[in-house]
A and B are shown apart, each in its own frame.
Chain A
Amino acid sequence: MSRRSRAAEPDPYSFGSRPYDLVKEFTIALVAVLALSIALAAVFSSPDKRPVTIATWAKADSADFTATALAELDGTSGTAQYGPPYNNASEGQKLGPVGLANLMGVTRPIDTAQDFVIRPLRSAAQTAIVSSAVARYTAASGAQQNTWTGNYSNALDKANGDPTKIAPGDYGPVPTMLTALLAQARAGSLDGQLLTESGVFYQTDYTLPLLFLADGSYLANLAGQDHLAGTQWGMMNETGNYPGQAWLWLYTFWYQISPYNNSTNGDALVWGTMAVLSLVFVFLPFIPGLRSIPRYIPVYRLIWREHYRDLRARGGT
């Protein structure tokens, strides 16, 4: 950038000037936007669909709750297999050769069997049968635990997820534990227990209950009914007929097409793509070719049409 070319930039006021009241314009704009916002709020209101609790989930779909709790217990749930930042069960997604999630490590350790099943059962007042079931399970070897949970999982599948229709088998203490956990959940105490597991009274971190909900299919079904699923342009939508985060359209768009929607590194690929596009957007003035696009698209002729008309009237180019 030379000093000579900088000096060639014309002064805006050398094109002529006209009276302008900046404060008046801003005041009018503020009043107009406030009035428009009030009118939209009064006419259309805003959505507020009640959140799902562990209790409403357990009451509405006890089979899904039980299957999810079993998956948390035997380490096959989405959270149990997640990887960083919750555990080391997998490496996490990669962007090319770089595994950023793995680099950041496990910052929010979660043991799904302990955090979602065993500790909540232990922290509540239980009958002697339940207490001994928990003690028997935790004292057993890993292989024995896997046998019990594997058998129970197969039996649940055959019974279409209904614990009351399961045939007798070698399930060990698992049915007793999951029945007790379901009762706790339906009573509403599991919601509170998952929030206070870290032993603090004041709590604003909903990671545990939300991960537990997300591992089941109940929350996803509700989201699908409200066109919030990933295949429905996901979280840029809002419950009901509201505009939502329409400005996320480009981000959400990538999830609808290949290779993003069928890659095991899809999220990382979308973020990588959006990071590049965001940098292009921010540094557009310095990118040859792209910064010249406005000269090829005659929108500027419309914007400055009065200026060009005056110029022509005075014999300019």
Chain B
Amino acid sequence: MSIRDRADLVQPGESTEPDEAAGWTAAVRRRLVRELPPDTMLPDTQPKYVASWIYVFGVLTLAAFLVVLGSGAVLAIQGPSWWHTSDIGHFFNSLHLWSVELFMAFMVIHLWGKFFMAAWRGRRALTWITGAVAFLGSIGTAFTGYLTQQNLDSQWIAVQSKDALNAVGIGAYFSPMNFGQMLMWHIVLLPAFVGILVVLHVLMVRRRGVVPPLPLRDRPAEAEPGTASEAGREAEAAETEEQP
């Protein structure tokens, strides 16, 4: 049963009571049900070819992101200076630091895995783009975190990075030496930006499904997003024909 077939199971038009309500709310509801059907969002089966440890790193990245958010939230309760004077605070700072290190490590492995799968194939380019921008946004979030540590490291990073930011005009409105501004970016703007991208990324993965294997042929072909090359179509068609 295909994803689309499965989605069709919950199409309003096929239910016993068609959703024909008028208004914006009903229209949004119909659109959400059509685009993001529950059994596609939370599947209890997955394609057979999803059988490698590399697939684990996507969910590990997501898990680490939640630990980062949770440990950061605990640090936020008593403010940015708390961890310098409290053993418990210092532990949560350590937890925040190491979960960030894990988050970035898992994300990089996930990224390389998706690159080698040419995972942008089959109208999945936007999935790649949201993931790539989330990675860049995560670097910015971590950078502002290092700036708000309130120690020698943050002092040095601030005075060093100002030159690069000033050189391209960004420093005129984004100053790494402005602790208050960096803290707001670190705990509000950038996490929201990355969080929204992560949610969109996951929804796109669920909606399009996991990218199918590359055709096992030695003939080079473009892995163009949204298309199947001639060689690719041949091979994929051959493979598809063999599926039940």
Contacts and interface: CB of A to CB of B under 8 A. Distances in A.
Interface residues of A, number: 115
A247 B112 CA distance: 14
Given A6-B226, A11-B2, A292 B221 contact: yes
A17 interface: yes
Interface residues of B, number: 116
Contacts of B215: 317
Interface in A211-244: 211, 213-214, 219, 222-223, 226, 228, 230, 234-235, 238-239, 242-243
Interface string A1-28: 1100110111111111111111101100
Given A37-B67, A245-B146, A17 B175 contact: no
B164 A270 contact: yes
A82 B162 CA distance: 11
B90 A45 contact: yes
Interface in A273-317: 278, 281-286, 288, 291-297, 299-308, 310-311, 314, 316-317
B19 interface: no
Q: Which residue of A13, A108, A272 has the most chain B CB atoms within 10 A of its CB atom? A: A13
A104 B172 contact: yes
B120 A285 contact: yes
Contacts of A2: 227
A304 B153 contact: no
Contacts of B239: 10, 15, 311, 316-317
A293 B115 CA distance: 9
A204 B183 contact: yes
B205 to A, nearest CB: 11
A271 B240 CA distance: 46
A16 B243 contact: yes
A214 B159 contact: yes
Contact of A219 (B136, B155, B169): B155
A247 B43 CA distance: 33
B198 interface: no
Interface string A80-117: 00101100000011010000110111011000000000
Interface stretch (A46-54, A118-126, A140-148): A46-54
Contacts of B151: 47-51, 239
A34 B67 contact: yes
B222 A292 contact: yes
Interface in B186-244: 209-217, 220-228, 233, 235-240, 242-244
A271 B167 CA distance: 8
B9 interface: no
A235 B157 contact: yes
Contacts of A60: none
Contacts of A9: 121-123, 212, 226, 228, 236
Nearest to B208: A12
Interface in B61-109: 62-64, 66-67, 71, 83-84, 90-91, 93-95, 97-99, 101-102, 104, 108
Contact of B228 (A5, A207, A210, A214): A5
Contact of A267 (B3, B4, B47, B168): B168
A56 to B, nearest CB: 11
Contacts of A204: 178-181, 183
A197 B88 CA distance: 35
B171 interface: yes
Contact of A41 (B97, B129, B139): B97
B46 interface: yes
B161 interface: yes
Given A101-B166, A107-B172, A301-B216, 7 more contacts: A9-B123, A15-B243, A36-B102, A37-B99, A101-B171, A204-B183, A284-B120
11 contacts: A9-B236, A10-B212, A12-B211, A51-B155, A101-B168, A222-B156, A235-B157, A242-B97, A285-B225, A303-B54, A303-B113
Interface of B: 1-4, 6, 42-52, 54, 56, 59-60, 62-64, 66-67, 71, 83-84, 90-91, 93-95, 97-99, 101-102, 104, 108, 113, 115-118, 120-123, 125, 128-129, 132-133, 136, 139, 142-143, 146, 149-161, 163-164, 166-169, 171-173, 175, 177-181, 183, 209-217, 220-228, 233, 235-240, 242-244
Interface of A: 1-2, 5-6, 8-23, 25-26, 29-30, 32-34, 36-38, 40-42, 44-52, 82, 84-85, 92-93, 95, 100-101, 103-105, 107-108, 204-207, 210-211, 213-214, 219, 222-223, 226, 228, 230, 234-235, 238-239, 242-243, 245-248, 265, 267-268, 270-272, 278, 281-286, 288, 291-297, 299-308, 310-311, 314, 316-317
Q: Rank and list the top 5 A-B pairs by shortest CB-CB distance, nearest first.
A: A204-B180, A285-B120, A267-B167, A41-B94, A100-B169
